[in-house]
Amino acid sequence: MNPDFLRAVVDTLLPGEAVAPAGVPSLPAGSPAGVDLAPHAESLTSVLAAIARAAGGESNFPAADENRRTAILQSVQRDMPEAFARLLGVVLPDYYEAPAVLNALGWRSEPPQPMGHAVPAMDDATLARLERVKSGGRRWRDDA
């Protein structure tokens, strides 16, 4: 399939942020983040062909404006939800595992282990709050 078409599908699904909240990097679009549909095009033929058909041809899709491209994807999602879910199942994991995306959302790109995360232990002030709960007395029922 046409690389421009595949890129346009990715970047319509994941358009990136024009403006990020203050103090954080903006989310990149899918293609710059490294999402590439080409290796998956064969297994996603039916949904990609439906998108191309709805656009009137592969080359028309990237040429359309964002609103039109979004409307096309929405209609294909309505018509073939399972196939569209498979498309998302390819695109979203690649995107949300990309370091630039993780970092833009305030998360680290390193895996959970071996670093883990630091969380302070329960302190005395928290334990003291449970005195209120205890002072309410027994809550459980006898079994007889």
Partner 1 sequence: MAAGPVVRHDDVDVLVVGAGLGGAAFCKRLAERVPRLRIVCLERGGWIDRAHLPASGRHWQRAALGPWATSPNLRLRSGIRTASADYPIEDSQSAIKPLMWNGVGGSTINWAAHFPRLHPSDFRIHSLDGVGEDWPFGYAELEPFYDHNDIEMGVAGLAGDPAYPPKRARPMPPLPLGRLGMTAAGGFDALGWHWWPVDAAVNSIAYDGRAACNHCGPCLIGCVNRAKSSTDETYWPKAIALGVELRANAIAQEIVIQGGRAAGVRYRGADGRDHWQGASYVVAAGNGIGTARLLLASGIDSPALGRNLMFHPAAYVRGMFTEELDGPVGPVGCAIYSHEFYETDPARGFKRGIHLQVTRENALLAQAMRLQPAWGREAYGKLREEFRHSIVILVQAEDLPEVHNRVSLTDSLEADGLPGVRLDYKLSDRSRRSLDFGIERAEEVLRAAGAYRIERLALAPATGWHLLGTARMGRDPATSVTDGRGRCHKAPNLLVADGSLFTTAGAVNPGSTIGALGLRIGEELAREIA
Per CB under 8 A, which region of 8-16, 31-39, 43-51, 53-61 contacts partner 1? 8-16
Selected from 63, 68, 97, 103, the binder of partner 1 by CB under 8 A is 97
Our finding on whether 39 is near partner 1 (CB under 8 A) is no
| Residues 65-84 within binding reach of partner 1 (CB under 8 A) | 70, 73
Burial class of residue 136 in the structure, from the number of CB atoms within 10 Å of its CB (0-12 exposed, 13-18 middle, 19+ buried): exposed
Nearest to 35 by CA among 98, 84, 86: 98
SS3 sequence, 51-116?
HHHHHCCCCHHHHCCHHHHHHHHHHHHHHCHHHHHHHHHHHHHHHHCCHHHHHHCCCCCCCCCCCC
Our finding on whether 119 is near partner 1 (CB under 8 A) is yes
Burial class of residue 80 in the structure, from the number of CB atoms within 10 Å of its CB (0-12 exposed, 13-18 middle, 19+ buried): middle
Selected from 1, 68, 102, 103, the binder of partner 1 by CB under 8 A is 102
Helix, strand, or coil (residue 38):
helix
Our finding on whether 13 is near partner 1 (CB under 8 A) is yes
Selected from 3, 32, 81, 89, the binder of partner 1 by CB under 8 A is 89
In the bound state with partner 1, the residue whose beta carbon lies nearer, of 42 and 144, is: 144
Task: Catalog residues that contact partner 1 under the rule CB under 8 A.
Answer: 12-15, 17, 21, 27, 70, 73, 88-89, 91-93, 96-97, 102, 105-107, 109, 111-122, 126-127, 129-130, 132-134, 136-144
